[in-house]
């Protein structure tokens, strides 16, 4: 009798504990298993307190420094008798670029070497082997691009905030995420009336010559700095400025089987190209927290407060179906899901077949509990009698 009572009490206690735990779960909390975290691409990092740079964004192009261009020409009239270098070749000052056979009489005619007067890269060539040349002609251009100009187009309305000597974080579109630091050395001589912009010229070191003239460039010009500013990466912030939030790891609910993330409303300050200032309220975030920087979009659509799911968020983002754990749904998964749906619609029995094993197991478990409760009631009445 005591054994039966203990079993029943244990079953009821566990059920109540699980129900209470579910009821106390913050509606802004999301629990994800490891496979779900992987499929959603969850990554985290800690907020920082550091120097904040207020920046001005604009675009422009890379240009060769005008004084670094050298024109190659021949001192005598004649014809080219050696194979000239091609565009893109590097030459050093004093290198013989071509041999020119003179038109003066002689047997053989005199040959004059044409040498590079500066080091650099061949950007233009107008000669071929055997071609006649004349002292008045430009044979090729050599440009030294070990330093270049990055020329930004600054809106005239913002030009007052930009001063000589200021730094800029410069990103060249064709080079991916690589950034360079440049110093403002001069402004253009006049504004562009058509675009309403003023040119600002930044000097960039380019020792490996990756930066080439006319490359499209993005500038974040540092106009002001502030110390001890609390920030998170831009990718951590979700929503608009009126309803901004981040997700942080809830270590109290995290265990080996799942990790918990809680949605935290935040008030935004300034934003630059890398980080967003968070104006702290009630100390909801601090530097020991871990905020989600990748996958936060999916968490925004899977929190119980938003009444969504990881599957729904991934389906909407990628345009095809996913499983509940976030993995991409295969043809076999789709067939299994369809079968499961059909079984559920048929009262737990597969069409034309036996009952679903899971359904049968749950049915048996329910019957066992009912039987135990019945036995407990009978013995209780006998004890009373």
**pLDDT at site 20:** 38
Strands lying side by side in the sheet with 43-45: 29-32, 259-265, 245-250, 291-294, 43-45
**pLDDT at site 312:** 55
From CA 88, how far away is CA 143, in angstroms rounded? 10
- Token pair belonging to 322: 């996913």
From CA 61, how far away is CA 215, in angstroms rounded? 5
Cβ neighbours of residue 268 under 8 Å, at least 6 residues apart? 237, 241, 244, 276, 277, 278, 279
From CA 83, how far away is CA 100, in angstroms rounded? 11
**pLDDT at site 347:** 57
Cβ neighbours of residue 204 under 8 Å, at least 6 residues apart? 62, 147, 148, 149, 150, 170, 180, 182, 211
Alpha-carbon distances of 123 from 44, 79, 129, rounded to whole Å: 46, 22, 18
Alpha-carbon distances of 170 from 43, 46, 58, 182, rounded to whole Å: 26, 26, 10, 7
Q: What is the pTM of this model?
A: 0.63
- Token pair belonging to 314: 């991934």
Q: CATH 2.40.420.20 occupies which residues in the chain? A: 27-53+228-318
Among residues 178, 176, 172, 123, the alpha carbon closest in space to that of 152 is found at 172
From CA 297, how far away is CA 269, in angstroms rounded? 21
Q: What is the mean pLDDT of the chain?
A: 82
The pLDDT tens digits of the residues spanning 63-88 come to 999 999 999 999 999 999 999 999 99
Cβ burial of 88 (10 Å; 0-12, 13-18, 19+) is exposed
For 50: left if phi > 0, alpha if psi spans -120 to 50, otherwise beta; the answer is: beta
Among residues 125, 69, 77, the alpha carbon closest in space to that of 97 is found at 125
Q: With a cut of 70, which residues of the chain have pLDDT below it?
A: 1-26, 281-283, 302-329, 331-360, 362-363, 379-385
> What letter would DSSP give residue 273?
S
Please name the helix (run of DSSP H) or strand (run of DSSP E) that holds residue 373, with its range, or none. helix 357-384
> What letter would DSSP give residue 85?
P
What is the chain's alpha carbon radius of gyration, rounded to the nearest angstrom?
Answer: 36
**pLDDT at site 368:** 74
CATH fold of 66-143 reads OB fold (Dihydrolipoamide Acetyltransferase, E2P) (2.40.50)
Among residues 43, 44, 23, 39, the alpha carbon closest in space to that of 309 is found at 39
From CA 352, how far away is CA 343, in angstroms rounded? 10
Cβ neighbours of residue 350 under 8 Å, at least 6 residues apart? 339, 342, 343, 356
Among residues 289, 357, 63, the alpha carbon closest in space to that of 185 is found at 63
The pLDDT tens digits of the residues spanning 325-343 come to 555 667 666 666 666 666 6
From CA 69, how far away is CA 272, in angstroms rounded? 36
From CA 158, how far away is CA 314, in angstroms rounded? 41
**Distance between start and end Cα atoms, the chain:** 16
Q: Centre a 10 Å sphere on the Cβ of residue 140 and count the other Cβ atoms it contains.
A: 24
CATH fold of 27-53+228-318 reads 2.40.420
Residues 298 and 40 sit within 8 Å (Cβ to Cβ): yes
Q: CATH 2.40.50.100 occupies which residues in the chain? A: 66-143
């Amino acid at each position: 009798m005591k054994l039966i009572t203990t079993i029943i009490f244990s079953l009821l206690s566990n059920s109540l504990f699980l129900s209470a735990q579910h009821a106390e779960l913050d509606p802004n909390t999301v629990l994800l298993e490891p496979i779900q975290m992987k499929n959603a691409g969850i990554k985290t990092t800690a907020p920082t307190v550091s120097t904040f740079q207020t920046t001005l964004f604009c675009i422009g192009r890379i240009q060769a420094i005008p004084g670094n261009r050298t024109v190659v020409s021949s001192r005598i009239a004649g014809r080219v008798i050696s194979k000239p270098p091609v565009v893109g070749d590097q030459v050093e000052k004093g290198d013989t670029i071509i041999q020119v056979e003179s038109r003066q009489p002689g047997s053989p005619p005199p040959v004059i070497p044409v040498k590079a007067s500066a080091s650099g890269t061949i950007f233009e060539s107008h000669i071929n082997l055997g071609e006649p040349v004349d002292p008045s002609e430009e044979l090729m251009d050599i440009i030294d691009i070990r330093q270049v100009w990055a020329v930004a187009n600054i809106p005239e309305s913002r030009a007052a905030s930009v001063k000589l000597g200021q730094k800029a974080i410069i990103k060249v579109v064709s080079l991916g995420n690589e950034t360079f630091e440049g110093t403002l050395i001069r402004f253009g001589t006049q504004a562009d009336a058509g675009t309403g912009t003023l040119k600002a010229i930044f000097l960039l070191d380019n020792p490996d010559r990756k930066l080439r003239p006319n490359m499209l460039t993005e500038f974040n010009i540092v106009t002001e700095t502030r110390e001890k500013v609390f920030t998170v990466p831009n990718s951590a912030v979700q929503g608009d400025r009126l309803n901004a939030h981040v997700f942080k790891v809830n270590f109290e609910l995290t265990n080996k089987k799942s990790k918990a993330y809680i949605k935290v409303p935040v008030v935004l300050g300034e934003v630059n190209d890398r980080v967003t200032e968070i104006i702290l309220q009630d100390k909801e975030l601090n530097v020991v927290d871990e905020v989600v920087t990748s996958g936060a979009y999916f968490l925004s659509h899977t929190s119980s407060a938003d009444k969504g799911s990881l599957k729904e968020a991934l389906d909407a983002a990628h345009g095809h179906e996913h499983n509940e754990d976030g993995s991409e749904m295969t043809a076999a998964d789709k067939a299994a899901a369809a079968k499961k749906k059909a079984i559920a619609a048929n009262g737990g029995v597969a069409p034309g077949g036996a009952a679903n094993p899971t359904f049968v197991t749950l049915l048996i478990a329910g019957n066992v509990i009912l039987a135990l409760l019945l036995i407990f009631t009978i013995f209780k009445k006998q004890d009373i009698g």
